[in-house]
Amino acid sequence: MISAKPETVEGMLESLGQLLKLLDVSSSELALLTTYGKLQPPLGKHRLKIVEFISVLLTIGSEAAEKELIRLGAMPDFNSVHRYPCNNFLHHHVENIILSCLESKNVQLVDHLLSECNILGKILEAEKNCTLTSDPNMLTVSAEGRAPPRIGNIGHLTRISNKLVQLGNSNGEIQAYLQVLNFSKIFHYTYDH
């Protein structure tokens, strides 16, 4: 945990709502051709920095920051990870956000991540559909005439899954979520108990 003065956290939270609006990519018509396909629109460094900002807010361990992030709907729902399946910078920050939430002492934050954000269901869905789609309605589209590559976030999802299993061994609430989805039997882990 990083420590921060309450007035610093309060100042950071004042701009959070405006920053979250910048994450909306629905009106952008930019496109970027890459070796694996096309991004419509590219994530860009500004949006990436906003996700990093959220990650930093969660590593502070401020209860006020955690409550505000929940209230504003800033918790990751994996939509950005699915939209940008080859952006490891983004995946790194989202992984840090999720791990900070899971390791938080705030039960409401953990519950929000597991129930409302449906993190377990999203991980299981990603395992089933682990190649880049050719769907032109997606933001990242596989290149024509080429076999779709494997999405680039599987390693991050595996580390998150391993952490869930590890924490589930000592946290009854997380264990209950894992059992409801039969998560540990469906997903293949590399974690050694």
- Total of domains in the chain: 1
Identify whether 178 is part of a domain: no
**Could you give the CA distance from residue 114 to residue 130 in angstroms, rounded to a whole number?**
21
Select the more confidently predicted residue: 24 or 171. Answer: 171
Identify whether 181 is part of a domain: no
Identify whether 83 is part of a domain: yes
Identify whether 189 is part of a domain: no
Select the more confidently predicted residue: 188 or 2. Answer: 2
At 74 the pLDDT is 81
pLDDT in tens, 147-192: 666 777 788 888 999 999 899 889 988 888 888 877 755 554 444 4
pTM of the complete model: 0.80
Identify whether 160 is part of a domain: no
Mean pLDDT (the chain) is 80
Helix (H) or strand (E) holding 102: helix 88-103
Asked if residue 41 has a cis previous peptide bond (ω within 30° of 0), the answer is: yes
Identify whether 193 is part of a domain: no
Q: Domain range spanning residue 50?
A: 6-152
Identify whether 143 is part of a domain: yes
